[in-house]
Amino acid sequence: MVTIFMGGTCNESTWREELLSKLDLTRVNPFNPVVEDWNEEAQKNEDIHKITDDLCLYCLTPEMTGHYSIFELGYDLGRRPEQTVFCILAERDGKAFTDGQLRGFTKMQQDVTAAGGHAFSNLDELANFLNTYDKQKHF
């Protein structure tokens, strides 16, 4: 079973729930780090998953207000490029990235792929990749 850290946009975004509904939970074991009380214990648990899970996913949406997920993506790409997964969802819940933001994210997707990571632009393609990921071929 492939373990997946599900990082990225929070702010009550529903992308995690939507992705979970598309995943084959007999093949993948996703970890959702979003908790009601973001305390020291939750932070430590998240840090453990970022190190030990087979894949680290960072999904960014226009609902994001912070930038820490972008740092996490770069950090993991430098540490474990083949296990880093990046997804940009350009439009969500009536919000959209600007053209300039999308150009930057598109370049980031190209760079993630060039570094050995995996990049996607929608949840269907992302779910297909995760559902068919064979860690024996990638490790």
Check residue 138 and give its pLDDT. Answer: 59
The domain ranges of the chain are: 2-138
Model confidence, pTM: 0.94
Using CA atoms, how far residue 46 sits from 2, 19, 100, 106, in Å, is 17, 19, 31, 27
The domain over range 2-138 is classified in CATH as 3.40.190.10: no
- pLDDT, one tens digit per residue, over 40-61 is 999 999 999 999 999 999 999 9
